[in-house]
């Protein structure tokens, strides 16, 4: 296989002071992202959803196979079908399937088996991970789709749209409702819209680990 190479275009080298400023304002923006569970029914134009999904599609992926598919749903009937199926799974989860340890972990978030936002929010984006695609087997599928979903959440947040990463387990019902093939695995159901008036978030979710806990630097070894 021969690999054709083209010049790197669009690359911008910044002075270090600008880099620090840009990172500081990006950190500011991202620190304000919150998972919300109370959505307004205010419509969001389809074009914005398309643009955000284009951003997601720029993610790196194993062998550039781009093993993702996004189903963007605003149709009320489909949203109702998803809510009914999700609540059925969530009832089984909260009242039996979930371990005590898992329920304890969810307790500070105050979540339960009721998912009204699946009908209230203007958009649901079902993200599917493709085990196989046009190019045959896909590689690092979970990692790639996770990265694309992260970019999608970031893009939506950057324009003031709230999201909830929802994972009713199992999510196989999504494949059927969205008409996707069985070579695809439902990855997450992203709920998208504006926060409802007076929307509250769990204070627990504001606690993020400090840098010292999430990073280890290996720099030059101290001289003996
Ligand atoms: C993979 C994944 C699955 C999640 N599933 C759910 C879910 O099913 N229901 C829910 O209410 N929140 C879900 N969340 C949201 C988390 O609870 C939330 O991200 C966490 O509490 C931190 O809050 P923050 O997003 O506001 O920082 C999920 C998040 C991730 C990354």
Give the distance (Å) from ligand 1 centre to CA of residue 4: 41
Q: Is the CB of 106 under 6 A from ligand 1?
A: no
How high is the pLDDT of residue 117? 98
Give the distance (Å) from ligand 1 centre to CA of residue 106: 10
201 CA: nearest ligand 1 atom: 26
Q: Is the CB of 94 under 6 A from ligand 1?
A: no
Three-state SS for 75? coil
CATH architecture of 34-196: 3-Layer(aba) Sandwich (3.40)
Give the distance (Å) from ligand 1 centre to CA of residue 163: 10
Give the distance (Å) from ligand 1 centre to CA of residue 35: 6
Which of 29, 166, 209 should be mutated for ligand 1, with most atoms under 8 A from CB? 166
Characterize the bridge pairing of strands 162-166 and 136-137.
unpaired
Residue with tokens 């010292």: 212
Give the distance (Å) from ligand 1 centre to CA of residue 64: 28
Nearest CA residue ID for atom 15, ligand 1: 165
Which residues pair with residue 192 across a beta bridge? 123, 163
Give the global pTM. 0.96
Nearest CA residue ID for atom 19, ligand 1: 35
Contacts of 164 (CB under 8 A, 6+ apart): 35, 36, 37, 39, 117, 121, 190, 191
How high is the pLDDT of residue 2? 65
Secondary structure of 90-121 in the HEC alphabet?
Answer: HHHHHHHHCCHHHHHHHHHHCCCCCCCHHHHC
What is the chain's pLDDT, residue by residue, as a tens digit (224 residues)? 468 999 999 999 999 999 999 999 999 999 999 999 999 999 999 999 999 999 999 999 999 999 999 999 999 999 999 999 999 999 999 998 999 999 999 999 999 999 999 999 999 999 999 999 888 999 999 999 999 999 999 999 999 999 999 999 899 999 999 999 999 999 999 999 999 999 999 999 999 999 999 999 999 877 77
Contacts of 78 (CB under 8 A, 6+ apart): 124, 177, 178
Of residues 120, 156, 124, 159, the one with CA closest to residue 41: 120
């Amino acid at each position: 296989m021969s690999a054709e190479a083209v010049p790197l275009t669009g690359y911008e080298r910044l002075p270090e002071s600008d880099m620090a400023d840009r990172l500081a304002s990006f950190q500011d923006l991202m620190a304000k992202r919150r998972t919300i569970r109370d959505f307004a029914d205010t419509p969001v134009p389809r074009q914005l959803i398309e643009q955000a999904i284009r951003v997601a599609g720029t993610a790196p992926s194993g062998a550039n196979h781009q093993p993702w598919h996004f189903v963007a749903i605003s149709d009320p009937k489909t949203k109702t079908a998803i809510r009914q199926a999700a609540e059925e799974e969530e009832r089984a989860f909260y009242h039996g399937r979930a371990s005590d340890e898992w329920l304890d972990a969810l307790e500070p978030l105050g979540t339960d088996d009721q998912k009204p936002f699946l009908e209230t929010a203007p958009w649901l984006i079902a993200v599917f991970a493709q085990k196989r695609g046009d190019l045959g087997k896909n590689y690092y599928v979970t990692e790639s789709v996770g990265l694309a979903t992260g970019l999608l959440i970031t893009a939506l947040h950057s324009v003031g749209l709230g999201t909830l990463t929802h994972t009713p387990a199992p999510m196989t019902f999504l494949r059927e409702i969205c008409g996707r093939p069985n070579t695809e695995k439902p990855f997450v159901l992203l709920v998208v819209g504006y926060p409802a008036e007076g929307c509250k978030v769990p204070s627990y979710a504001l606690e993020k680990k400090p840098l010292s806990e999430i990073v280890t630097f290996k720099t030059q070894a101290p001289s003996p």
